[in-house]
Amino acid sequence: MDKKLTKEEIQELYDFTRRHFVEHYDLQTELVDHLANDIELIKEEQAGLTFVEARDKSFKKFGVFGFMDVVDQRQKAMSKRYVNYLWKYLKQWFELPQLLVTVSIFLMCYILFSNGLGYYFFIGSIAVIGTWSGAKGIKLNRYFEQKKEATKRMWMMEDIIFRQASCFGVAFAPVLYNISVISEKIFEYNYVVMLSSALVTFMGIYSYISFVVIPNEAENLLQKAYPEYNM
């Protein structure tokens, strides 16, 4: 008797993983492959079992929390890979020729923050970066949702790339509030001006990488992460 699963049964396994809160296509595919192989083995050992019975028997092997542990492990691994991408691009801004741009931004901030209106230039710089980041985050999230709707697939690395950018934009709100309550008198100290210049320079570069560089490289990064991405 042939124990190979049919296309309909394979599709049912995809639906099964979605019903158990596995949203990302790459992880669904891995789990479906694992379940399919295990179901075939189970049916060889117990020929009288139906597909559903063998499926449920295989699923029980994942424990009380089902696929959640697998999802959590994959998210940690992909988040770590995303951080590696982030630092890779960030380090380039402290190497030639980008280092010249980084130093120029720092010096411009230092000059602006050193005068009598330094505090207000500083607040304005943070507000501009925050507003731009928020707008870009909304735009990227809208693009991601449209693409997901069109392809009917969501890859975990792609989700992280676009969701991280959106979350980073939202994080600017409390930062701006906390900075706004700082007394403008502290900008009379040179070390405060230097630290503020470094902060704005870093936040500007970090935002640019998060909202422009990595999203623009998303296709290449996804192809590296998933050989089957364009199949």
Q: What is the pLDDT of residues 12-30, one digit of tens each?
A: 999 999 999 999 999 999 9
Does some domain include residue 1? no
- pLDDT band of 224, cuts 50, 70, 90: confident
What phi, psi does 94 have (nearest 5°)? -115, 20
- pLDDT band of 141, cuts 50, 70, 90: confident
| Block residue for tokens 């701006």 | 176
Residue 39 contacts residue 55 (beta carbons within 8 Å): yes
- pLDDT band of 2, cuts 50, 70, 90: very low
Do residues 23 and 87 share a domain? no
Do residues 134 and 203 share a domain? yes
**The two structure tokens encoding residue 9:** 């049964």
What pLDDT sits at residue 92? 95
Over residues 43-47, the mean pLDDT reads 89
Range of the domain at 81: 75-225
Closest among 230, 128, 221, 121 to 172, alpha carbons compared: 128
CA dist 27 and 201 (Å) reads 38
Does some domain include residue 35? yes
Cis peptide leading into residue 97 (ω within 30°): yes
What pLDDT sits at residue 216? 93
62 versus 170: the higher-pLDDT residue is: 62
What pLDDT sits at residue 189? 86
What pLDDT sits at residue 3? 59
Do residues 56 and 84 share a domain? no
Closest among 120, 126, 109 to 193, alpha carbons compared: 109
Do residues 84 and 181 share a domain? yes
201 pLDDT higher than 80: yes
What pLDDT sits at residue 170? 56
**The two structure tokens encoding residue 183:** 């007394």
Q: How many CA atoms lie within 13 A of 191 on its CB side?
A: 0
pTM of the model: 0.83
Neighbours of 126 (CB within 10 A): 20
Do residues 96 and 208 share a domain? yes
Dihedral angle sign, alpha carbons of residues 199, 221, 72, 162: positive
Helices (H), the chain: 7-19, 25-45, 51-59, 68-92, 98-114, 118-151, 156-170, 172-180, 190-208, 214-216, 218-225
Q: What is the total count of domains within the chain?
A: 2
Do residues 152 and 43 share a domain? no
Do residues 130 and 203 share a domain? yes
Lowest mean pLDDT among 13-17, 49-53, 57-61, 132-136: 132-136
| Block residue for tokens 């982030």 | 86
**The two structure tokens encoding residue 83:** 């951080």
Do residues 62 and 85 share a domain? no
Do residues 109 and 204 share a domain? yes
Do residues 49 and 81 share a domain? no
Helices (H), 152-189: 156-170, 172-180
Do residues 106 and 57 share a domain? no
- pLDDT band of 64, cuts 50, 70, 90: confident
The residue among 36, 66, 96 that closes a domain is: 66
174 pLDDT higher than 80: no
Mean pLDDT of the chain: 87
Residue 193 contacts residue 199 (beta carbons within 8 Å): no
| Block residue for tokens 């990595």 | 214
The DSSP call for residue 94 is T
What pLDDT sits at residue 1? 39
51 pLDDT higher than 60: yes
Do residues 125 and 15 share a domain? no
Over residues 75-83, the mean pLDDT reads 91
169 pLDDT higher than 60: no
CA dist 155 and 229 (Å) reads 9
